[in-house]
Amino acid sequence: MKYYEKVPDKERIICMLCQHHCQIKEGKVGICGVNQNDNGELKTLVYGHPSALNLDPVEKKPINHLLPGSSALSIGTVGCNFKCPFCQNWEISQEHTINELVEVSPERMVEMALEHGADSIAYTYNEPTIFYPYAKDIGVIAREKGLKNIFVTNGYESAEVVKDMASWLDATNVDLKSWNEAYYKKVLKGGLEAVKETLRGMVSEGIWVEITTLLIEGDNDSDQNLTDMAEFIANDLGRHVPWHLSAFHPDYKMLKHERTGLDTLKRASDIAKKAGLYYVYLGNVPVHGDTYCPDCATLLIDRSGYTVTQNSLQEGHCPNCNRAIEGVWR
């Protein structure tokens, strides 16, 4: 895809990476701080310059229904198109200074993933949509080499990017941060309707989707808020879409806000299951993230933290009732 459009009769371009659709003047950057109008073309300034690079369990993304127990080479850059006051990676996401001394080509990134025994590459830590040209160039090579590709995102991609993703992306975990449009716009500097549009588009394109909601008591944890989110997932996306309910801990600009309690997560889980969701997981709390068969309740995957201690799936099916379990298993 082409990542920008020119504004007729003006010295501006429109960035097509996310739904901000920033109109960028010559020499300036968009909201993300890292995509620039360079002589009438879009230049991704962080291309080839990762600021974070780690080998993680795929469950840490969190992705529970793609190659359980495997490792993902996880990469991120500086910059973001949201301004979340609770961001756990704010040191890089809200930073725009690029260390150009660190340079890793797409080819070398894939080589490193293979050298370290990773089965996938995860684009994460900050918002990967803002370095989509870099991510895609890595991802296309990774797929050719037999690796999976994972996006961990706030879901604010443009419709054009979502459609383009289907050619190389295997799975995504999308943050559904609230069910309040005003909260999205005022606090996060994004938009709920845009995220819902992205989620529908990803499912329609055949990308494996998991969803994470960071529960912040008093902000997004009301029964009505949770019910609306759960029913949206079940009815618009599918009951098979896993929902990760994660506990907030004080960080960045919300250091004085209390940590989310386990009772809140369990209440949210009950609401999710009442809405008919098959796979509900709790995060940032000391509980097992086990996967059960929705039909016969057989324990399929036993997880302790990020470690898989048992995987009874047989070619993606329940060994007891032979139900096909939704996910990417090979």
> What is the percent of the chain where pLDDT is above 70?
100
**Distances, alpha carbon 85 to alpha carbons 198, 218, 239, 249, in Å:** 22, 15, 31, 12
| SS3 per-residue string spanning 302-315 | EEECCEEEEECCEC
The pLDDT tens digits of the residues spanning 212-258 come to 999 999 999 999 999 999 999 999 999 999 999 999 999 999 999 99
Q: Read off the pLDDT of each residue in 91-117 and give the average, rounded to a whole number.
A: 97
- pTM of the prediction? 0.97
Are 76 and 51 contacting, i.e. CB atoms less than 8 angstroms apart? yes
pLDDT, residue 8, reads 86
| Total residues belonging to the chain | 330
- Give which of 57, 35, 127 is closest to 87, Cα–Cα: 127
104 token code pair: 């890793």
The pLDDT tens digits of the residues spanning 287-328 come to 999 999 999 999 999 999 899 999 999 999 999 999 999 999
Residue 325 to residue 292: CA distance in whole angstroms? 9
The average confidence (pLDDT) of the chain is: 97
Q: Read off the pLDDT of each residue in 178-195 and give the average, rounded to a whole number.
A: 97
pLDDT, residue 10, reads 80
Residue 12 has pLDDT above 90, yes or no: yes
Q: What DSSP character marks residue 289? A: -
pLDDT, residue 11, reads 87
* E strand map for 229-329: 243-247, 280-283, 291-292, 299-304, 307-311
Residue 9 has pLDDT above 90, yes or no: no
Q: Read off the pLDDT of each residue in 168-175 and give the average, rounded to a whole number.
A: 98
Q: What is the DSSP string of 129-164?
A: GGGHHHHHHHHHHHHHTT-EEEEEE-S-B-HHHHHH
pLDDT, residue 317, reads 98
Question: pLDDT band at residue 156, thresholds of 50, 70 and 90?
Answer: very high
CATH of 52-287, one of 3.40.50.150, 3.40.47.10, 3.20.20.70, 3.20.20.10: 3.20.20.70
- Provide the residue ranges of all domains of the chain, joining segments of one domain with +: 4-44, 52-287, 289-330
Q: What DSSP character marks residue 26? A: B
Q: Indicate the range of 8-12, 65-69, 139-143 predicted with least confidence.
A: 8-12
Are 17 and 158 contacting, i.e. CB atoms less than 8 angstroms apart? yes
